[in-house]
Each structure stands twice: as C-alpha cells, then as structure tokens.
Amino acid sequence: MDVEIRPCASAEEVSHAITPIRYYFGRTGPDENQTEQLIRVLPAERVYAAWEGDRAVGGLGAFPLQLTVPGGRVPAAGVTVVGVLPTHRRRGLLRGMMRALLDACHQRSEPVAYLWATEDTIYGRFGFGLASFTGDIDLSRERSAFHAPFAASGRVRLVSPAAAEEYVAPIYDRVAGVTPGMFERSSPWWHNRTLADPDWRRGSGGELQCAVLEDEGRPSAYALYRMNWAFDRGLQSGAVAVIEAIGESPQATGAIWRYLLDIDWMARVRAGLLPLDHPLLLLVAEPRRLGFSLRDGVWVRLIDVRTALSARSYRPEGSVVIEVADQFCPWNAGSWRIGRDGVDRTDDAPALRCDVTALGSVYLGGFTWTRLASALRVQELASGAAAHADTIFEASSAPWCPEIF
Ligand SMILES: CC(C)(COP(=O)(O)OP(=O)(O)OC[C@H]1O[C@@H](n2cnc3c(N)ncnc32)[C@H](O)[C@@H]1OP(=O)(O)O)[C@@H](O)C(=O)NCCC(=O)NCCS
C-alpha cells in the first residue's frame, strides 16, 4: 500500500502520528488527555505523519520555539516525536517527513531547526550539525565539599510543582534569555511539560519536587528533582535525581547546588544535561568525583543560512567568506560573507569551505572553526582563516539546553 506524508489536521490525527514513537517506549497510542496536553504546545499542523490508509506508520513534529543564540533569539523548529514503526523502517519515511518539515519551515521563515538525537548517525544527512556537548554527573554526597567554605545567602523553601511556575519561570527567563541553546518556555510549556509529573516520567523514582532559593524575598535559583530513596542493610544508598537546577548568579547557583548536595538520607546526587562550562565543575573541591561524562547535546540545522546567521551577533573583527555545501536544502549552497555588517552572498574567494552541518556546529558557540578544521569538518582555503573566523564568531559561554524535548 502507498504511503502519503502530510501534516495532521486534528487532535485525533496527532494521536495517530505519535503512536510510532510511543511504540519504541513500549506503549500503545496515547489517550485523549495525553494528546490534548501535547497539542497545547505542539499545534496539530506542525505534526507530520506518514499515512498508510488511515494508519500512521511514521510521525514527526516541530515545537515552535524561540531559541537563544549568541546575542539574540531566533524562531526555531524543535524537532520531536520522530518515529517510524519497525515494520516500515528504511523505506525513506523519515527522509520524506524531514523533507516536508524543512520545506514548510523554509516557507514560513523559520530559519533554524534543532533537536536531540537518539543516535548520532541519524540527522547529519539532513544537514544537522552537532552543536553542543553535555555532561552527566554522579557524585557521592560525602565527596561533595566545595573548594572553599561557602555561606549560602537566602533561604530555600519547598514549593508544590503545581504552584511553582510563578517562582521558577522568571528565573528561567532571565537565564534562558542570555544562554545559547535554551528556549523560551510558555506557560502551557511549564504546565504541560516541565512541571507535569506523570507516572511514566517518574518511573520508579519519587514525585517531582521543587525547591526555590529566595534572597531577601526574591527568587534567585530553583531546583526540580526527585528523591529516589534506598537503603542497603541499613545504609543509605539512594540518590537525589536533579532534573533542572538553575541560578541567576554564581552565588545563587552555588546555594541551590549546596542545598541539593546536603539533603539527608541520600548517598549520591545525579544530574544530567549540564553544559561543559557548568560552575559545579570548579565549585567542588574534587572535580574528579563528579564522574562528569560526556555525550552529544543538541543538533542544529540552519534552514535559511542568511536569516539564521543574521540572528546572532559577531565580534567586530571584520568578516569571513565561507563556501557552504548543502545537499538537502540546496538554496543555501554558495559563498557567504559573514560578519558584524551582515550576512550576504558573495562572489569573493572563500577562506573556508564546509558542509552546512559545520555552520550548525558553530551556530550556538559550542564549537570553534579551528576545532572543526582540526577534526577535518572544515577545509581552510586561506592560511589562518579558521582562527580569524573564530575571532568573529566568538561566544562567551557554552550552549546549554537543560531539557530533552
Ligand atoms: C530513526 C528512524 C526514525 C529512521 O526512520 P526511517 O524511516 O527508517 O529512515 P529513512 O528510511 O528515511 O532513512 C533515511 C536515511 O537515514 C538512515 N538512517 C535512518 N535511521 C538510522 C539510524 N538509526 N542509524 C543510521 N542511519 C540511519 C537510513 O539508512 C537512510 O540512509 P540513506 O539516506 O543513506 O539511504 C526510525 O528507525 C525509528 O523510528 N527509530 C526508533 C526511534 C528513534 O530513534 N527516533 C528518533 C528520535 S530522535
């Protein structure tokens, strides 16, 4: 039977479209409530399905996000719920859905797509470049001392997640607004995703907890976490599972982490999705004890090179000409002059040559041109061109996306 790829037109069609990815989580189709929650943040027309008759055998969606980039924000498609049933894999259904999505983004001037990948090998062929690394920690509380005595200012109080938005959202907004990789969270996002605590997310862990640090009555840091308690022959062996801990200043970040690291009954503190420059790595006296382990972070696709690159800032060190190859979105191919004065097509000789994936890698500031050139992902056509491009693209912090969407 033929397969037709088209966007969904109703909540019911969305339920069908997300059934393939749910299959891989060991589940059947969603109930009405789950679909309703999803479409509050993911409109039906932004969900694509591969239909075989009246059954979706593949699906893919794209949250409408505002992504922070160095010096600005850009509309971005947050690609999600990508799945093709095992009965229909490797017949080009993902390719077809990605084609439909990127063409639609291009038409509606959404110049960037970004995502978390379950495997590194899936998305490069569609022009996504690895844009950040991220790290997990697993720390024994007994070895969690800071490098110097720390006097936390302010007080931590526990807030019910259902009532937490008014405390945590302003902190998140202030940090997300200046941290490349983070995106704006709407109230429905907080309600239906970040602060929701469905059983399937909890697994065998405790309920979602929220702690807010207040300094002179003003919230300045928060932590979302679970208490996963356990005892082994009378000895504590459980762990605090930190979902998200964000402070708006070094002092507030230190204080909320000290709170998490000092919770009684817990033997360990675990956290994931931390940026490579997270302060904790230097805050603790024994960084080795963090067991910081690296994995790929977000992947970025520039759908419209000119608009995407124009949305971020550059240092005033002139400009660089880069020749870009882009097989999947050929409208981007060609030479671009990039710098503080703008991003434009040019006939001038390029100094660097790369695939569009390399632009995705440098976009948020996670990787430098020099680093990409040393890994044979960029070709230097003029001596010193990568180092010069680095002075133009320089970003002040590592990208951070604290949640998988
Ligand atoms: C990943 C997945 C969506 C791919 O769907 P698909 O319809 O089989 O992919 P396509 O047939 O369109 O493949 C397009 C290309 O990607 C390649 N590809 C697809 N999935 C791949 C994978 N997991 N690893 C390596 N290559 C992969 C195909 O070989 C094909 O290569 P080609 O262009 O050189 O021929 C599907 O296997 C799946 O649902 N996996 C489990 C859920 C999952 O991981 N989803 C992704 C969430 S981020």
Taking only the tens place, the pLDDT of each residue in 120-159 is 999 999 999 999 999 999 999 999 999 999 998 899 999 9
Model confidence at 238, in pLDDT bands (50, 70, 90)? Answer: very high
Fold match between 4-110 and 134-296?
yes
pLDDT of residue 379: 98
pLDDT at position 250 over 90: yes
Taking only the tens place, the pLDDT of each residue in 201-221 is 888 899 999 999 999 999 999
pLDDT at position 1 over 80: no
Q: Which atom of ligand 1 is nearest to the CA of 85?
A: 39
pLDDT of residue 204: 86
Q: How far is the CA of 93 from the centre of ligand 1 (A)?
A: 8
Going by CATH, does the domain composed of 134-296 fall within 3.40.630.30?
yes
Taking only the tens place, the pLDDT of each residue in 326-342 is 999 999 999 999 999 99
Whether the pTM exceeds 0.95: the reply is yes
Q: Which residues, including other chains, have CB under 8 Å from residue 208's CB and lie 6 or more apart?
A: 161, 195, 197, 202, 224, 225, 226, 243
Domain ranges of the chain: 4-110, 134-296, 299-393
Q: What does the block give as tokens for 344?
A: 């434009």
Looking at the domain that runs over 299-393, which CATH code has it been given? Answer: 3.30.1050.10
Q: How far is the CA of 81 from the centre of ligand 1 (A)?
A: 13
Q: Percentage of residues in the chain with pLDDT exceeding 90?
A: 97
Which class is 4-110 in CATH?
alpha beta
Q: What does the block give as tokens for 92?
A: 């080009």
Q: Which atom of ligand 1 is nearest to the CA of 21?
A: 42
Query: Which of 305, 280, 297, 282 has its CA nearest to residue 366?
Result: 297
183 belongs to the catalytic site: no
pLDDT of residue 153: 87
pLDDT of residue 152: 87
Taking only the tens place, the pLDDT of each residue in 219-237 is 999 999 999 999 999 999 9
pLDDT at position 384 over 90: yes
* Active-site residue, selected from the candidate residues 123, 183, 222, 314: 123
d(C-alpha 280, C-alpha 267), whole Å: 18
231 belongs to the catalytic site: no
Tell me if 357 sits within 8 A of 324, measured CB to CB.
no
Nearest CA to ligand 1 atom 31: 90
Within 6 Å (CB) of ligand 1, which residues are found? 24, 82-84, 89-95, 117-119, 121-122, 125
User: Which of 18, 84, 121 is the pocket-test mutation for ligand 1 (most atoms within 8 Å of CB)?
Assistant: 84
